[in-house]
C-alpha cells in the first residue's frame, strides 16, 4: 500500500510456483488438515475424485499473502472467499486483487485466485484499514 | 439423507490451544511465506509485533488440534472425505501471536439444502478468544454433495 489508495487500484499480483504433491504433504502437516483426499490418491479415488487436489485453505493462505504483502496484517479487518473450483496438483495459482471502494478509512478489495488455464478457484473480498488503529 | 436441521446450535466442546513458533514456521514454509516477520521473532519485533504473528488463515488450523476435528460431521453421518469447502470468512478483532493461548467456541450455525436436495450445506461458526478479549470470528460453509435420498 503506497501513497493514496483509490478505487480501481490493482494490487501487485502474487504468482505461486506449481503446487507439487510435496507442497500438499507439507501443508497437511502444517495445517493439521490430514483429510486423505489431499495427499493420498487411493483415498481420493475411493470417494470418486480422479486424483488428490489441493486444500482450499492453501489457496486462501496464498491469497492472504497477497493481502499482508500489500498492507500490515494488523490492518486486515475481514477476509472471506468462496471456493469455486478445485485446484489439481501442478497448478500454478496467481493471486490478484483490486480496490473496489475506499470508505470509512478502509480499502475494500475484490480478490481472486486464477490458474494458468483461466479457472478461477477462489473469489472473495477483504477490508483493510488504511492506517493502523 | 438431508442434514437434520436439529443440528443447528450444536456446540463442540471448547478447545484451548497454545500457538507455537515451530508450527507457525512450518506453516510459513508450507505456504511459501518468505517475509521474516512470520519466521524470525527479531524481525517481528522490529515491525512492532510482540512475537511471530499468527497469519490470517492459520486461525482455521487451530481446530485441527482436536482429537477428532471431524467429529461434528461424523456425528451427523457425514463422511469427511466427501465434503467440499464452499466458503470461508474471517472477521478480525485483534492480532494473535506465538505463545498465545487461544480458546475456540464452535457451533453449527445453519444447515440448508439447494438443488432439490442434491447439495446440503452446513455452516459452522467459531469464536476465537484470548484472556484479554475476542481475536476473530470464523465462518465455514461446507458443501455435502449427493446426500439426496436414493429414488
Tell me, letter by letter, the H, E, C secondary structure of B2-23. Answer: CCCHHHCCCECCCEEEECCHHH
Mutate to test the interface with B, among A44, A80, A97 (most CBs of B within 10 A): A80
Rounded CA-CA distance A95/A74 in Å is: 20
Mean pLDDT of chain A, nearest integer: 96
pLDDT in the model for residue B1 = 55
pLDDT in the model for residue B104 = 97
Residues of B in contact with A32 (CB under 8 A): 61, 64-65, 69
In this structure, are residues A73 and A95 in contact, taking their beta carbons and an 8 Å threshold?
A: no
Residue B147 has pLDDT above 60, yes or no: no
> Measured between CB atoms, which of B31, B64, B92 is closest to A65?
B31
Q: Among residues A128, A84, A83, which one has the least CA distance to residue A109?
A: A128
Per-residue confidence band for A58, with pLDDT thresholds at 50, 70 and 90? very high
User: Quick one: three-class SS letters along chain A?
Assistant: CCCCCCCCCECCCEECCCCCHHHHHHHHHHHCCCCHHHCCHHHHHHCCCCCCCCCHHHHHHHHHHHHHHHCCHHHEEEEEEEECCCCCCCCCCEEEEEEEEEECCEEEEEEEEECCCCCEEEEEEEEEECCCC
In this structure, are residues A68 and B52 in contact, taking their beta carbons and an 8 Å threshold?
A: no
Mutate to test the interface with A, among B50, B56, B97, B128 (most CBs of A within 10 A): B56
Which residues in chain B (8-47) have CB-CB distances under 8 A to chain A?
23, 26-27, 29-33, 35, 47
Distance from CA of residue B139 to its chain's centroid? 8
For range A79-87, the mean pLDDT: 97
pLDDT in the model for residue B150 = 40
Walk me through the domains of chain B, giving residue ranges and CATH numbers.
5-17+68-145 (3.10.129.10)
Per-residue confidence band for B146, with pLDDT thresholds at 50, 70 and 90? low
Rounded CA-CA distance B19/B23 in Å is: 7
Q: Which residues pair with A129 in a beta bridge?
A: A106
Tell me whether residues B29 and A82 touch, CB distance under 8 A: no
Q: Which residues pair with B120 in a beta bridge?
A: B113, B144
Residue B14 has pLDDT above 80, yes or no: yes
For range B51-56, the mean pLDDT: 98
In this structure, are residues A21 and A52 in contact, taking their beta carbons and an 8 Å threshold?
A: yes
Number of A–B residue contacts, CB under 8 Å? 110
Residues of A in contact with B52 (CB under 8 A): none
For range B41-56, the mean pLDDT: 98
Per-residue confidence band for A2, with pLDDT thresholds at 50, 70 and 90? low
pLDDT in the model for residue B60 = 97
In this structure, are residues B95 and B19 in contact, taking their beta carbons and an 8 Å threshold?
A: no
Walk me through the domains of chain A, giving residue ranges and CATH numbers.
14-129 (3.10.129.10)
Residue A33 phi/psi, 5° resolution? -90, 95
For range A78-106, the mean pLDDT: 97
**B85: closest CA of chain A, how far (Å):** 7
Residue B36 phi/psi, 5° resolution? -60, -15
Tell me whether residues B56 and A79 touch, CB distance under 8 A: yes
Q: Are strands A14-15 and A94-103 parallel, antiparallel or unpaired?
A: antiparallel
Residue B151 has pLDDT above 50, yes or no: no
For range A1-26, the mean pLDDT: 94
| C-alpha to C-alpha distances, A132 to A104, B46, B103, nearest whole angstrom | 13, 16, 26
pLDDT tens, residue by residue, A109-129: 999 999 999 999 999 999 999
Tell me whether residues B81 and A29 touch, CB distance under 8 A: no
Per-residue confidence band for A7, with pLDDT thresholds at 50, 70 and 90? very high
Choice among A81-85, B3-7, B106-110 with the minimum mean pLDDT:
B3-7
Amino acid at each position: 500500500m503506497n501513497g493514496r489508495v483509490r478505487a480501481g487500484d490493482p494490487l501487485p499480483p502474487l504468482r505461486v510456483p506449481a503446487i507439487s504433491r510435496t507442497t500438499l504433504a507439507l501443508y497437511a502437516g502444517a495445517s493439521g488438515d490430514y483429510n486423505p483426499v489431499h495427499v493420498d490418491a487411493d483415498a481420493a479415488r475411493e470417494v470418486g475424485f480422479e486424483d488428490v487436489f489441493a486444500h482450499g485453505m492453501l489457496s486462501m493462505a496464498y491469497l492472504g499473502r497477497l493481502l499482508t504483502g500489500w498492507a500490515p496484517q494488523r490492518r486486515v479487518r475481514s477476509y472471506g472467499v468462496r471456493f469455486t473450483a478445485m485446484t489439481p496438483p501442478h497448478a500454478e495459482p496467481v493471486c490478484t486483487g483490486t480496490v473496489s471502494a475506499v470508505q470509512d478509512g478502509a480499502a475494500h478489495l475484490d480478490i481472486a485466485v486464477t490458474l494458468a488455464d483461466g479457472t478461477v478457484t477462489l473469489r472473495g473480498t477483504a477490508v483493510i484499514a488504511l492506517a493502523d488503529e | 439423507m438431508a442434514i437434520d436441521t436439529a443440528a443447528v446450535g450444536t456446540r463442540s466442546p471448547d478447545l484451548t490451544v497454545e500457538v507455537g513458533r515451530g508450527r507457525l514456521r512450518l506453516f510459513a514454509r508450507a505456504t511459501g511465506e518468505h517475509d521474516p516477520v512470520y519466521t524470525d521473532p527479531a524481525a517481528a519485533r522490529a515491525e512492532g509485533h510482540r512475537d511471530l504473528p499468527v497469519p490470517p488463515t492459520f486461525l482455521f488450523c487451530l481446530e485441527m488440534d482436536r482429537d477428532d476435528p471431524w467429529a461434528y460431521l461424523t456425528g451427523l453421518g457425514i463422511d469427511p472425505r466427501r465434503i467440499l469447502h464452499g466458503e470461508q470468512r474471517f472477521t478480525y478483532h485483534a492480532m494473535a501471536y506465538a505463545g498465545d493461548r487461544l480458546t475456540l467456541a464452535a457451533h453449527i450455525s445453519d444447515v440448508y439444502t439447494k438443488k432439490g436436495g442434491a447439495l446440503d450445506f452446513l455452516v459452522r461458526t467459531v469464536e476465537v478468544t484470548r484472556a484479554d478479549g475476542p481475536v476473530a470470528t470464523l465462518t465455514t460453509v461446507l458443501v455435502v454433495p449427493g446426500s439426496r435420498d436414493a429414488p
